[in-house]
Chains A and B, each alone.
Chain A
Amino acid sequence: MSLGREDVAHVAALARLALTDEELDRYTGQLGAVLEHAQDLSQFDLDSTPPTAHPFAVAATVREDVEVPCLDRDEVLAQAPEVEDGRFRVPRVVGEAL
């Protein structure tokens, strides 16, 4: 399973990254080398081995359902690139044609 230029272009799009042609070539080689190294994981029969997602078994923890203060809205919005009427402002999502 070797990694192609079109695979890298696809994951870049999924990851919301734009790549130049030069970057596409370079990343294809570099990511391919990592995946090639990862072929050593194929040497074991793992069908009967369960996956581990976390070092220790932990139960999901929940806190008491009581009101606690949260971060101050103005303080949080002060860090935003663009704000309007106490909300985050973003460019158009849907609507007018491009």
Chain B
Amino acid sequence: MTTAVELAAAVRDGTTTARATTEAALAAVAANDRELHAFLHVDRDGALAAADRVDALTSQGRDPGPLAGVPVALKDNLCTQGVPTTAASRILEGWVPPYSATVVDRLVAAGAIPIGKTNLDEFAMGSSTENSAFGPTRNPHDHGRVPGGSSGGSAAAVAAGMVAIGLGSDTGGSIRQPAALCGVVGVKPTYGMVSRYGLIAFASSLDQIGPLATTVADAAACLEAIAGHDPMDATSLDEPAPRVVAALDRGVDGARVGLVAELLDGAAPDVVVAVERAAEALEAAGAHVAELTLPELRLGLSAYYLIAPAEASSNLARYDGVRYGLRVDAADVQAMNVATRTRGFGDEVKRRVMLGTYALSAGYYDAYYGRAQRVRTLMCRAFATAWERCDLLLGATAPTTAFELGAKTADPMAMYLSDVFTIPSNLSGEAAITVPFGRGDDGLPIGVQLLGRARAEPRVFAAARVLEAAA
């Protein structure tokens, strides 16, 4: 498997062409994706046209960009002008956005080639990609198992070698958990570091876009291309992209690493062993690892499953059958709204919209949403105390390796528990990355998670690179 960094270097120095890298990616999709179903839409013509534009720049002696000719996959909740965008929902089937997400424009400006749109849990609500209205994605390591979710399509596309880089979105772990289950690197950047303009909103105080890749260096190259202030996103941090590529080889000598009990509790024994080995690898590279307990993190799951649905119930109110997407005809406008939403939304989306509506409703607001927001304050304070003693935090990414298709679909609460280690950093905004580190007893990939304080991406990536080298 050629990395994104290698592909871009070869395209830039003329060893190969963007046309060739793009045709290879399209051929890999054609060969693998009938079985895996990572993609909802393959934009063959658009990809080849983008490749030809990159090659034209190169032949004119102009700079084709740092990701020249690198095939990328876009989660299908990222708007792409002229290319269907569904969020894996029937309610948006056939919709063609009139504009592209900032991250898509930035990737293309960097020379990357969008190959297509990848599968996800409907509106990014789920942990297995089984909530897609268009059928599940299979884990490339074991086709009977889930790829994780909600960015399962991008994770599978990268893990299967169909593309070098995938973009995902992470609201409660939706980049990191599938990356861990598919054995690839996944990054949840600091909240606000990457523009969400053109990301179909799920829970706006939590959503972040980030890369999935086979190497830490590829993820770094992608993050530098997509991050940095965007005036089109009012929550975008007013600062340039972090310099993560230059930081990759800084190592962890002298770094203080907290091994967080709450980010291991309840993990399967083989996952715990992997995290302990990761701690040893960091120590061997000069870090000081100390065990740490942050009890408030235990409340993350409950807080998240009130806050995220509450925000979702508001964000998804826009799907009313009026301006775009599905409309189911009825006698008056309210009956049309109900008929459209009832047919257009799947089970999990309905569950979360109702849960959020309940948590925000008169009489229950203080007991549920209000309480969850106060707990969120406790979580942020817990992280703040940790940063007084630590530079990095270490834990598991997901409690287990990839589970079997259908194993958790009947029990939403069991599915939600897949996110227990990833949720806290969404609530607090911290930077996070998952790196493949060893295999489970079943031979499937395990991911370990590193957290850094907001804007600490250079340090987080340097540590991730140490783990990658030791894995």
Residues of B within 8 A of A (CB): 95-96, 98-99, 191-192, 205, 231, 234-235, 298-299, 301-303, 305-306, 313, 320-327, 329-339, 341-342, 345, 350-351, 353-355, 357-358, 361, 364, 367-368, 370-378, 380, 412-413, 416, 427-429, 454
Taking A11-B354, A52-B373, A80-B323 as contacts, is the C-beta distance between A37 and B302 under 8 angstroms? yes
Nearest CB to that of A39 among chain B residues?
A: B302
What CA separation (Å) do A16 and B337 show in the bound complex? 7
Nearest CB to that of A55 among chain B residues?
A: B429
Q: What residues of chain A lie closer than 8 Å to B99, measured between beta carbons?
A: 71
Question: What are 14 contact pairs spanning A and B, CB under 8 A?
Answer: A12-B354, A16-B338, A16-B341, A30-B412, A31-B358, A37-B302, A41-B302, A49-B374, A49-B377, A51-B374, A54-B235, A55-B192, A58-B234, A76-B98
A37 → B minimal CB distance (Å): 6
**Interface pair A56/B429, CB less than 8 Å apart:** yes
A18 at the B interface (CB under 8 A): yes
A95 → B minimal CB distance (Å): 9
Taking A40-B298, A91-B336 as contacts, is the C-beta distance between A11 and B412 under 8 angstroms? no
**Interface pair B322/A90, CB less than 8 Å apart:** yes
- Count A-B pairs with CB separation below 8 Å: 160
Q: What residues of chain A lie closer than 8 Å to B454, measured between beta carbons?
A: 55-56
Task: Bin chain A's interface residue count.
Answer: 35 or more
Q: What residues of chain B lie closer than 8 Å to A55, measured between beta carbons?
A: 191-192, 205, 380, 427-429, 454
A61 at the B interface (CB under 8 A): yes
Q: What residues of chain A lie closer than 8 Å to B413, measured between beta carbons?
A: 30, 33-34, 37
**Interface pair B302/A52, CB less than 8 Å apart:** no
Q: What residues of chain B lie closer than 8 Å to A44, measured between beta carbons?
A: 299, 375, 378
- Which are the 10 A-B pairs with shortest beta-carbon distances? A55-B429, A51-B373, A81-B327, A46-B374, A52-B376, A79-B324, A38-B302, A55-B191, A52-B377, A11-B357
B210 → A minimal CB distance (Å): 15
**Interface pair B354/A17, CB less than 8 Å apart:** yes
B204 → A minimal CB distance (Å): 9
A residues 1-57 with Cβ under 8 Å of B?
Answer: 1, 3, 7-8, 10-12, 14-18, 27, 30-31, 33-35, 37-42, 44, 46, 49-56
Q: What residues of chain B lie closer than 8 Å to A34, measured between beta carbons?
A: 305, 355, 412-413, 416
What CA separation (Å) do A30 and B350 show in the bound complex? 12
Taking A11-B358, A30-B412 as contacts, is the C-beta distance between A41 and B98 under 8 angstroms? no
